[in-house]
Amino acid sequence: MITGTDFITISTQDFERAVAFYGETLGLPELKRWGNMPAVEFETGNLTIAVMQSDEFGLEFRANNHPLEFRVDDFESAQQELMSRGVEFKGETIDSGFCKQGFFEDPDGNVLAIHHRYA
């Protein structure tokens, strides 16, 4: 019955602010907008993320409190670049011995992370 995942959705209270964050701050390519509705899809390379303004779809806004993990090739460089763009990382970098990850939030408080898995 289910053959795959088309995209995941991230809730926002301010569509234009979210578009700027995901498109400019994170540098994700914009795929398409949902007509006149306040929603847009961004591509990460292996997963499409749809950012949508909840109230315009009859939904209650709720920030995700568990991270969406973005894969990076060079953790330190990616972290430094994001920090130079105003991203504030929460807590210490986690190094599990097989990966590194660092947590941050989008402007709506959705928890995100960058993640690098060792070879």
- The answer to whether residue 32 scores a pLDDT higher than 90 is yes
- The domain covering 1-56 belongs, at the CATH homologous superfamily level, to 2,3-Dihydroxybiphenyl 1,2-Dioxygenase, domain 1 (3.10.180.10)
Instruction: Share the mean pLDDT of the chain.
Output: 97
pTM of this structure: 0.94
81-105 in b/e form (b: 16+ CB < 10 A) is ebeeeebeeeeeeeeeeeebbbbbb
Out of 3.40.50.1220, 3.40.50.300, 1.20.272.10, 3.10.180.10, the CATH code matching 63-119 is: 3.10.180.10
- Residue 92 pLDDT: 95
Name the residue with tokens 């660092």: 102
The arithmetic mean of pLDDT across residues 13-42, rounded, is 97
Whether the predicted pLDDT of 43 surpasses 90:
yes
- pLDDT tens for 50-95 read 999 999 999 999 999 999 999 999 999 999 999 999 999 999 999 9
CATH fold match for the domains 1-56 and 63-119: yes
pLDDT for position 113 = 98
Q: Domain-by-domain residue ranges, the chain?
A: 1-56, 63-119
